[in-house]
Amino acid sequence: MSNNPLIDYTGLPPFSEIRPQHVQPAVEQLIAAGRKKIEQVLAQGDFSWKGLVAALDEEDERLGKAFGPAGHLNGVAQNPALRDAYNACLPLLSEYGTEVGQNEKLYAAYQALHDSAEYNTLNEAQKKDLENTLRDFRLSGVSLPPDKKAEYMEVAKKLSELTSTFSDNVLDATQSWRKHVTDESLLDGLPDVARAGAADRAKEENLNGWLLTLDFPSYYAVMCHSTNRELREEMYRAHVTRASDTGPDAGKYDNSAIMNEIIELRQQEAQLLGFSSYAEASLETKMARSTEEVVGFLNDLAVKAKPQAQQELAELRAFAAEQGAGDLQPWDLTFWSERLREARFSISEEELRPWFPAERVISGMFGIVEKVFGIDIRQRDGVDKWHKDVRFYDIVDTGGEVMASFYLDMYARTGKRGGAWMDDCLGRVRLKDGSLQKPVAYLTCNFAPPAGGKPGLLTHDEVVTLFHEFGHGLHHMLTEQEVSGVSGISGVAWDAVELPSQFMENWCWTEEGVAMLSAHYETGEPLPKDKLEKLLAAKNFQSAMAMLRQLEFSIFDMHIHSGLEGKTIAQVLDEVRDEVAVIKPPSFNRFQNSFSHIFAGGYAAGYYSYKWAEVLSADAWSKFEEEGVFNPETGRSFREKILARGGSKEPMELFIDFRGREPSVEPLLRHSGIAA
C-alpha cells in the first residue's frame, strides 16, 4: 500500500485525504507501472483472455481509480492548486493512451486472441469488448508510419490540454461576474427562493443585501421572473458573452482562438486516420452510419417542428404586445414565455416549487425505480465525501445484497462547474482474483441550495433533470456485465447513451409519478388536482421552439466537425440559424464560446445523440404506456434487455429485443405535441 491515498486504496475513494500534491505523482507512478505491465505481458506471450485482457484491464483500473477522484474533485470542488495538478496530468495521460493505442505488438497480441480457438469460447461481452478494442487500436493510428504516429500523439496531447482550458475559462468567466444589490426594488418579481439564495450568497462574502451571479439558479431566476428589464439585459449580456472577445470580461477568458484550434486539430486527427472529417471519424463508434444520415434525420425533424415553432413565437409576441411589452428582445423571451404559460395554464414553475421539496422528490424518485425495477435504495452514513451536502446510497437487490452505490451532490456552490451530470466512480468488473467490483456512480446537479430557513425546493423542470441524471446512473449501476469495456455505459454507442436518461424523465409527466414526487414542504399536502392537471397540460408548452433549439445546436455541431470550408465557426452557426431557428440572437451573442458539451465534453460531432436517443426513449416509453407505467413485467424487461446489457451488444439489437421492432419517430412527435 502506497502512502499516496490515490494509489491502491480499497473500497471507495478517500476524499478527505486527497491533496493536489498527490495527483501527479500517483498518475506518473501508475503510468510507469502500466508500461511495465505491457512489457511483461508481451514478453510472456500468454495471449489468452486472462493473460492479456484481464491482466491489462486490471492495470488500467488502478490508473482510473487514481485519476478518477481527482478529476471528479476538479469538477465539484475546484481550487487553483487542484486545477493545476489536474491539468498537469492531462498531457501525460493523453500521451500514454496514444502510446498504448499505437503499440503494434500489443495490437498483434489482441488480434492473435481474436484469431485463436479460445475466441469461440468467450462470452458475448468478452467478444464485443475484444472487437471494440481492435477497432480502438485502428482509431488510435496503430497502422500509421512512425512520423504520422508521432504527429497523431502530439495532436491528441494538445487537444486534451485545449479542451480542459476551454472548460476552465467557462468556469472562470461564469464565476467572475457578480452583481451586488443593495436596493431591494431591483429584485422586483424575483421569487422568495431566489431572493433568499442571493441574500445567503451575499452573507457568505460578508456583504449586505443580495448577490446575483451567473450560476444557473441565480441567472435563470432573473431571466424568468425579474420585472426589471435593464437587469435582465445586463445579466443576459454577461451570460451570452462568457469566455469571449466581448461583454464585461472581454478578452480575459476568451475561448475564440481555442475553439478554432480544437476544430483544426480534430480535423487533422481524422485525416491522419484516413477520414475526410472529424464527424465521419466520430461515427465509427456510434449507431448512425453516416453524416448524411444524421444531418438528414435532424433536418427532417426541423422541417416537422418549424411551422409549429413559428406559430408559438407569433403567439408569444402577440401576448407580450397585449401587455404593452413593445419589441421583444432576447432578454425578454424567457420572462414573457413564463408570463404566457402562467396566463394560459394558470401555473408557473415557481408556484409549484413548494410542492417539490428536495427530500420528497428524492424519496419519490427512489420509490418509483424501486417499484419499476425491483430494487431497494438505502442511505449509508459514515462515507468519506467532498462536501457536507453530499449523500451516499446503496442499491440493494431483492435478496438484500448490495448491487451498486452512488453519491448524490445536489446543490450549486462556488468551485463547482455548472450543469448536471453522471460519472462513474467504479465500474462493475470481475477482477483477476475472481472477486466482483460493484459499480459506484457520481450524480451531480446544480440546484438552488436551501436558503432563508427553507429546505431545498425544486422546480418541476429541475425534477426532470434529476430523473435524467438518475437514468444515466441506473444504466451504470444496474449493469450485469463483468467486463470493464462493456460494463454499464462503457462501450455503449454514444448516440444510444441518452436512452435510459431520457426514458426516466417520463415518470415526471404521469399523474402517478407526480403523486409520489410531490408534497408541500410545510403542510405535506399532495399537489392539488387542479395544479397537477395544469402542469401536465403545460408539458408541451413551446415544445417546438425547444426542439428547434436542440436541433440548431446539433446541426451546428455536425457542420463544424464536417469541415469549415473557409468559414468561421460563427458564420457556420449563423447559417444554421438562418435555416433552422425562429429566434435570431443579437450579434454580440457568443453562445458557442461556452458550448462545453462539444468543445470540452464528449459530445463533439455527437450532440445529435440527444435527439437520436429521444426517438428510442419515446418509443421505449410507449411500451409502458401500452402495458402500464408501473408494470413490473415491463420494468423487468427494460432492466434485463437494456440496462443490464450495457455495451455488450449493438444498441439497435437491444432495442429490438425490448420493443419487438425497430424504433419509430412517431412517439417522439406525439409526446412533444408536434404533428407528424
The Cα 186–Cα 154 span in angstroms is: 52
Q: How far is CA 255 from CA 353, 542, 571, 584, 595, in A?
A: 36, 32, 16, 22, 10
Question: Left if phi > 0, otherwise alpha if psi is -120 to 50, otherwise beta: which for 11?
Answer: left
Give the cell for residue 101.
493505442
The Cα 525–Cα 510 span in angstroms is: 18
Give the cell for residue 212.
446575483
SS (H, E, C) 375-437: CEEEECCCCCCCCCCCEEEEEECCCCCEEEEEEEEEECCCCCCCCCEEEEEECCEECCCCCEE
SS (H, E, C) 317-358: HHHHHHCCCCCCCHHHHHHHHHHHHHHHHCCCHHHHHHHCEH
The Cα 379–Cα 363 span in angstroms is: 11
The yes-or-no answer on residue 469 being catalytic is: yes
Mode of pairing for the β-strands spanning 440-447 and 402-411: parallel
Residues 6+ apart with CB under 8 A from 343: 319
Q: How many helices (H) and strands (E) does the chain have?
A: 26, 9
Phi and psi torsions of 398, nearest 5°: -65, -20
Torsion sign, CA atoms 66, 72, 76, 82: positive
The Cα 557–Cα 567 span in angstroms is: 14
Burial of 665 (0-12, 13-18, 19+ CB in 10 A): middle
Paired residues of 440 in beta bridges: 405, 426
Question: Left if phi > 0, otherwise alpha if psi is -120 to 50, otherwise beta: which for 274?
Answer: left
Q: Angle at the Cα of 436 (from 434 to 440), degrees rounded to 5?
A: 155
Q: Which of 269, 280, 350, 469 is catalytic?
A: 469
Burial of 6 (0-12, 13-18, 19+ CB in 10 A): buried
Mode of pairing for the β-strands spanning 178-181 and 429-430: unpaired
Query: In what helix (H) or strand (E) does residue 443 lie, and over which residues does it extend?
Result: strand 440-447
Q: Which of 406, 375, 410, 412 is nearest to 392 (CA)?
A: 406
Mode of pairing for the β-strands spanning 440-447 and 421-426: antiparallel
Which amino acid, residue 501? S
Give the cell for residue 344.
394560459
Q: How far is CA 343 from CA 339, 340, 351, 534, 538, in A?
A: 6, 5, 13, 11, 11
The Cα 653–Cα 536 span in angstroms is: 33
Query: In what helix (H) or strand (E) does residue 125 lie, and over which residues does it extend?
Result: helix 124-139
The Cα 193–Cα 459 span in angstroms is: 11
Query: In what helix (H) or strand (E) does residue 588 lie, and over which residues does it extend?
Result: none
Q: How far is CA 625 from CA 35, 510, 512, 628, in A?
A: 52, 10, 12, 6
Residues labelled as active-site residues: 469
